[in-house]
Structures are given as C-alpha cells and as structure tokens.
C-alpha cells in the first residue's frame, strides 16, 4: 500500500505522539507507515519541540497511536483496522483546525 504522498504533515499544534505496536503481529502495517510519515525529517522540522515516541511491545496488544496536543486535547487512534491514509487524514484535519484557531487567536 503506497503511503499518501504530497501531504505535508504539520505538527505545530502537537506536543507529543506515542506510537505503540507489537511488530510480530500482522495488523501493524498501517501504524508503522504512519510512524514513518510522522517521524520523517520534514514533519519533525515543522515543530522541533514535538516528541515522537515509538514503543515496541510483545504482548499481542493492538497498535495504538496517542497524540497529545498543545492545548491538552488527546487523539487516540486504534490502528488495527484503519489504513494509513485514514489515520493521516483524521490527524491532519485536526491539526489544521488547531493551527487555524491558534492563528486566529494570535491575530486578535
């Protein structure tokens, strides 16, 4: 499955991303691809304070992506039955909303 291209990942409103998965399971492909996209140089350059923490487990647990935003909101995505593009779309839409809110607040 090809990763969604030409989509710049904006991490400005994000404080921390924790990606937890068990690599020996078969349903972790989308989560790993999401991690590769979010942890890339481009994404990290948008916000150097954002931490991307991958956690590797071995207990047959489901892959989970936990995003903590700057204003305290949390986004939890269970990647077992989701595709990478779906996860990325949901994440990016929220990031954009937060970014616009922050910009509007700053302008005022």
Partner 1 sequence: MAATLCMKLLRNQGWAPLVQSVRHGSKAVTRHRKPLHIIKQKLLAVTQYIPPARVVPPGAYPAENKCVQEDAGLSLLLKKDLKKVFEESKMVAVVQKNGSNAEDMMILKHRLCKHGIKVKFFPNQVTRSFLSDSVYCNMAPLFIGPTVLFVSKEPKVKEMLSALRASPQMTLLGACIDNTLLSAQGVVSYSKLPSVTVVQGELVSGLTMLTSRTASMLQHHPARLSALLRQYVKQQSPDDGAEAAPKAEAAT
Which positions lie near partner 1, rule CB under 8 A? 23-26, 28-29, 32-33, 35-36, 38-44, 52, 54, 56-58
22: its two tokens: 């068990």
Nearer to partner 1, 4 or 54 (CB): 54
* Shortest distance in whole angstroms from residue 89 CB to partner 1: 19
33: its two tokens: 């691809």
Nearer to partner 1, 85 or 102 (CB): 85
* Shortest distance in whole angstroms from residue 101 CB to partner 1: 28
100: its two tokens: 């616009």
* Shortest distance in whole angstroms from residue 24 CB to partner 1: 6
């Amino acid at each position: 499955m090809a990763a969604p291209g030409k989509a710049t990942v904006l991490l400005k409103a994000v404080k921390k991303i924790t990606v937890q998965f068990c690599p020996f399971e078969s349903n972790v492909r989308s989560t790993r691809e999401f991690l590769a996209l979010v942890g890339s140089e481009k994404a990290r350059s948008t916000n150097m304070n954002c931490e991307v923490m991958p956690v590797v487990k071995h207990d047959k647990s489901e892959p989970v992506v936990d995003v903590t935003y700057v204003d305290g909101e949390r986004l939890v995505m269970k990647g077992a039955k989701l595709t990478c593009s779906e996860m990325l779309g949901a994440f990016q839409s929220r990031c954009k909303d937060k970014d616009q809110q922050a910009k509007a607040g700053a302008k005022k």
